[in-house]
Chain A
Amino acid sequence: MADAAASADKSIQVKLVLLGEAAVGKSSVVLRFVSNEFQANKEPTIGAAFLTQKCRLEDRVLRYEIWDTAGQERFHSLAPMYYRNAQAAVVVYDVTKAASLDKAKSWVKELQRQANPHIVIALAGNKVDLVNNAAASSSSTTEETSEDEPDDATATPAELAQAASGDGLRAVARDEAQAYATEAGLLFFETSAKTGEGIVELFTEIAKKIPIEHILASTRGGGANRPGGAASGSNAQGNVNLDANNQTPKNACNC
């Protein structure tokens, strides 16, 4: 709906899809990004949930249209419906579960072969709070875990024991995932939907990498063919949606 006439200073629409094994926290990542909340109990996604969020990048405003897909294996065959025409994808795995990275790799492979050829793919290792807590002090929940290299695979034995008592044992080394991401040409972040760590960065870096001019050109081309009445109607519709979305905290993405 980014219309040719209005798009210069209006938002640019970016379709983004989230993929990954069940319960790695895809929905939580989106929820953190869109409304800066963390809900422990999320309804599982049936098919896919749809959310939107604006994101400022220099002088442009991007409007993410996020498709948060169901993670269960049997929903796999439905995924193409959601990732077709997507300009960006976030493939999520759980840093405490090695198998989830394998699944992520197979998603990346599928995207690279089946999806839009210009798709920007980011790999996100979620639930890093579980391993951060184990590495640092397990009591501090509000602690700011900044961007210093949190290579937590080298925790002391005592801390490891602490971690083992909970779920907090890192199963995927940061370096390993980073190496894979570099090799496959992906953006890579470790994130925590719970603390918010890495979430904004994730979406900001994707925004930077998206070939905006390319999208603008293509929507312009598409918009020209559309009847004017329909387009203006849709614009009004779009604004309503944006308003609904803007009730959420603005600090989610102020890049």
Chain B
Amino acid sequence: MATISTQLRTLLKEPSKEELTRIFFALDGQPAPGEPALGDKVDISAVVSIQGMDDSSYAGRLYIIGPYLTFASLDRKSVRFTLPLCTVRRVERLNSRTGAFALSLLLWHGIKLILQLTSLRPTADAFCARLRDALKIQLQLGNMRSMKTFVKSCYSESLVASASSTVANEREDGSLLSADGQSYLGGLGLKYKFPGDPKKLREASKTKLWAQYLREHGRNLTLLRYPQCTRLVQVGLPNRLRGEIWETLSGSLYLRFNNPGLYERILKENDGKTSTSTEEIEKDLQRSLPEYSAYQSEEGIDTLRRVLTAYSWRNPELGYCQAMNILAAAILIYMSEEQAFWLLEVLCVRLLPGYYSPSMYGTLLDQRVFEALVHRCLPMIHDHFQEVDVQLSVASLPWFLSLFINSMPMIFAFRIVDCFFCMGPKVLFQVGLAILKINGDALLNIQDDGQFINLMREYFASLDQSAHPHSTDSRARAITRFQELLLVAFREFSVITDEMIHNERRRFRGEIIHGIESFSKRAAVRNLKTFRRFKKDQIGLIYDVLFKAICVAPPPPSVNPPVTSGSEHERPETRIDLKTFRVFLSEIATWARDDAIVSNGFQERVDRTIPEHELVDRLFFFWDTSCRGALSFQDLVNGLDGIMFGDLMSSIEWFFTLHDKDKDGYLTRDEVLTVSESLLFIFRYELGDAYLGAVSRFMTNAFEYGDALQQDSEKTAEPEGNQSHNKPYLNLATFRMVVLADELLEEFFEQDLRESFRLQTVEIEDVSHVGQPTGFLGLGGLLSTIVTEDNKKIFNRFTDEIGKTIGKHQVMHRPSIGRMDRKVALEEPKARESLLPPSSSAPRLNVTLPGRSPSPAGSVKEKDQQSLLSAPSPLTPVPASPVVNPLKFAVLERTPFAIDEARDDGETDDDDDISIVGREDDAEVMDEVDAFLEAHDSGLSEADKAIAADLQTATPLR
């Protein structure tokens, strides 16, 4: 009744350094054929400036990643861009008076970018050569042409082209009066209007500011992100531009650009098909933002259905998860189906990894991370919640899962979504912490989950109200609770960085994997129809072996059975095929594995291989009582029960039936031979000749008795065909007699056969420590890489070679029964463990967190969590790492809210009159922008700036 998934172990791998760079530059997927791969990377130190713009010089790092030119300023946030190389029109070497090595790039939208390569000359030359080659490829592929048509689908082109900020064909909120002559893509909002009051949202001013920004800094594919861009995003995107800016900032624009027509193709190819996902989608269509007018119409519902369905086909392993409908419905207000489809991909794969997967591991992990951050930043609230046993996740889970869209009034949620696409997933944590901090006093009074939820609900409903209703300062009064929320989130919790979240995720990864796995173990055990004669802990051991087998030899994916409408479908259930079964059995039956004990003078180790033998296959089909060609957990339990509790007589019968293929109560001559082969297989590594003798005696006796009986029956029955090998030949009674005639065989069936099945604790490698990039780990990492399977093999082979040359190499197979050599010590040599360097089993954290002695992986395993989320964090406070301490002080020292500073910005108070649209209003919007103004460090000294300024006027080199 359950699926057993080992996917987590691969999915929750640590991203490599390369992957992190790609994530940072919002690059996903595979480039089109002919394009260089994203793994193809080269980078260099550089200073970037925009020609003709003061203060536009920033030092940072320039990369060529596949077909993209990307840049990040030194602080990784002030300036960055991801330019598809096909948007570069012309490159020139600049003639600099100061002798700096500089290039000028003319971009498609007319922006001239000056790149000063500040590395050593040979590096710079090499970089230029790479750039030249990469650009040549673009020329050959003819990507410029497709780029030209592609950018026309972006609204920014029309916006910048038109002189005024509002086009004649538009309502105030940006929706269209008529769809005539619309060349760009847009969402349902164009027809059904956008949520919110356009005056209050100051649409006109925002649009004007954006038009100017996009004119100066490029747009869509060529957008250069300068500090101003982030600030404009923080005050809220104008409705009309929102969809495009979302796809540009999130990088889904590049996916759409690289995969033209794919969305339509997926829809067409799967037209009329149904799946579990499409069924689930259908249930939710009518209840996705039903308050928005488009979703009360057939058109809106169809749009939503197509996007969700297409994505479920695009990513069948993920399929569809509730909450995706909310997200899709929300983004479809602002973007077209195709745009929404690609944005959904970026959300599910990169921005919210694992949030919507079948195990929802990403959601669970980030909830755990959020809890840890609350513990650090708001310890009083955390402690109070622990004391009154309130779970943070009951409220915060939907925040993360639906990006606040389900929790707050839409217009506010969209502003958080704006920031989320611009600044990344850390925004969710920052806003979450700010919500808790702002409501801190009230939260310290709550006593249960219910009060917590209600408090949050009231707070969200009051976001449009003044944060300081009783203030005498009208400017302070004008600040809404929502503005306060953003200020607190981005100022007081600016300490929450991507890197911190990354590290926290790594910290809790093992715990979450273990939690999910033990949850599915409990469910699988609970859902067994019967335990047979096993005790619960034995069932657990069987599960563990099964789980390990699935890890080692994954069965074919359990595909959701196609749904025939109306009828009930079976819930997917994990079944293992023969390949996995061999591994499973090898862990339990001593004779189903070849354990070679190798000693070579340096080490003694056990090399285990899994033999293929007819007996194993026979057992597989014997246990497959429902004839599916695959075994479920229950089948395995039933099967093991059949032999592990047997006595002499029942074991003999079991072995007899196992070989009686047609179950007629008789073995044929052939089957008697097979019995002997099976016995010989089981006894293959026993010492001495005793078992060989026993089996040959068995054969002699079996045929002797069999022939005798056959003659008896022949007297009464048909005379012909007694020589046939497929005729019934030996019945159970005779078989028993033959077996009991031999002492050794009697012993075997009385005890040894049963005992050759052993339930033992299996070791499953903890993946959370495997595959970590060495770059982060230093020495410990170097050592741990030795422990990878491949390296172990190499090391083993190496020592074997030496062992052979010095004559110490020895291989001995461990017997399955071992009755003949009980005196020989069978203890497993410790060689395997001794290979592990001491540091690899103890996690790296121990280095920075002294006093936390047990390894997280180990301690987690011991803890039997009742639920994944209910597990409170350890009662003993986590020892503060050096990173955390100053951070905590920083939070404590701050004034409660940063509003005061915003008040000092010195504009006269015409805030109440929001209907004025014009210069003053623009200034006011920018005021709000200034509230977010942070020191942006260009990373340049005065001298550097002079060089950069000089380059602004430099002429191209001949």
Contact = CB atoms under 8 A, between A and B. Distances in A.
A226 interface: yes
B866 A114 contact: yes
B398 interface: yes
Interface string B784-796: 0000000000000
Interface stretch (B96-104, B451-459, B590-598, B602-610): B451-459
Contacts of B322: 22, 44-46, 70, 72, 75
B866 A74 contact: no
Contacts of B325: 44
A41 interface: yes
A153 interface: no
27 contacts: A13-B448, A13-B450, A43-B288, A44-B288, A44-B326, A45-B322, A46-B323, A46-B326, A52-B450, A65-B449, A72-B321, A72-B322, A73-B358, A77-B359, A77-B360, A78-B360, A81-B391, A81-B394, A81-B869, A84-B867, A99-B569, A114-B522, A233-B445, A237-B451, A237-B455, A240-B458, A241-B451
A97 B445 contact: no
A231 interface: yes
A48 B394 contact: yes
B612 interface: no
Given A50-B394, A72-B280, A241-B454, A78 B869 contact: yes
B568 A46 contact: no
A231 B447 contact: yes
A117 interface: no
Contacts of A234: 445-447, 451
On chain A, which size bracket covers the interface? 35 or more
A150 interface: no
A46 B284 CA distance: 12
Interface in A65-121: 65, 67, 70, 72-78, 80-82, 84-85, 97-99, 102, 106, 109-110, 113-114
Given A41-B287, A75-B322, A47 B397 contact: yes
Nearest to A225: B387
A75 B280 CA distance: 13
Q: Is the interface of B mostly helix, strand, loop or mixed?
A: loop
Given A44-B284, A47-B401, A230-B445, A65 B867 contact: no
A40 B286 contact: yes
Interface string B745-779: 00000000000000000000000000000000000
A42 interface: yes
Interface in B606-645: none
B446 A113 contact: no
Contacts of A237: 442, 445-446, 451, 454-455
A238 interface: yes
A42 B523 CA distance: 30
Contacts of B312: none
B304 to A, nearest CB: 13
A45 B394 CA distance: 12
A230 B866 contact: no
Nearest to B405: A46
B444 interface: yes
B407 to A, nearest CB: 9
A92 B639 CA distance: 35
A1 interface: yes
Given A47-B398, A48-B394, A85 B389 contact: yes
A80 B454 contact: no
Contacts of A81: 391, 393-394, 867-870
A78 B397 contact: yes
A97 B323 CA distance: 24
A122 to B, nearest CB: 20
B283 A77 contact: no
Contacts of B454: 50, 237, 240-241
Nearest to A233: B445
A65 B452 CA distance: 12
Scoring B289, B391, B445, B446 by chain A CB atoms within 10 A of each residue's CB, the highest score goes to B445
B278 to A, nearest CB: 14
Contacts of B397: 46-47, 78
A23 interface: yes
Scoring B447, B458, B516 by chain A CB atoms within 10 A of each residue's CB, the highest score goes to B447
B394 A44 contact: no
B537 to A, nearest CB: 15
B169 interface: no
Contacts of B446: 234, 237
Given A41-B290, A44-B322, A78-B868, A230 B444 contact: yes
Interface string B855-888: 0000000000011111000000000000000000
Nearest to A112: B526
A81 B394 CA distance: 7
B153 to A, nearest CB: 32
B655 interface: no
Contact of A43 (B389, B406, B445, B869): B406
B866 A43 contact: no
A50 B395 CA distance: 10
Contacts of A50: 394, 449-450, 453-454
A84 B542 CA distance: 28
Nearest to A40: B286
A1 B867 contact: no
Given A44-B283, A106-B527, 16 more contacts: A1-B448, A13-B448, A43-B289, A43-B406, A44-B322, A44-B325, A46-B402, A50-B454, A65-B450, A77-B364, A80-B868, A99-B568, A110-B523, A233-B445, A238-B451, A241-B450
A230 B568 contact: no
B516 A77 contact: yes
A106 B526 CA distance: 8
Nearest to A167: B566
Contacts of A110: 523, 526
Contacts of B280: 22, 72
B899 interface: no
A23 B286 contact: no
B519 interface: yes
B517 to A, nearest CB: 11
Nearest to A96: B566
Interface string B336-378: 0000000000000000000001111000100000000000000
A234 B450 CA distance: 11
Contact of A74 (B1, B321, B448, B522): B321
Please provide the 10 A-B residue pairs with the shortest distance between their CB atoms, ordered closest to farther. A80-B867, A99-B568, A233-B445, A50-B453, A46-B398, A47-B397, A81-B869, A23-B283, A65-B450, A41-B290
A70 to B, nearest CB: 6
B360 A80 contact: no
Scoring A40, A52, A238 by chain B CB atoms within 10 A of each residue's CB, the highest score goes to A238
A81 B522 CA distance: 16
Interface string B257-300: 00000000000000000000000100110111110000000000
Contacts of A70: 322
A233 B523 CA distance: 41
Nearest to A65: B450
A80 B870 contact: yes
Nearest to B457: A50
A110 B2 CA distance: 13
Contacts of A98: 568
Nearest to B868: A77
A102 to B, nearest CB: 8
B323 A230 contact: no
Contacts of A109: 526-527
B898 to A, nearest CB: 27
A49 B341 CA distance: 28
A24 to B, nearest CB: 10
Given A41-B290, A43-B290, A74 B358 contact: yes
Given A75-B322, A78-B360, A84 B401 contact: no
Interface in A28-60: 40-48, 50, 52
Contact of A41 (B286, B358, B450, B519): B286
Interface in A110-151: 110, 113-114
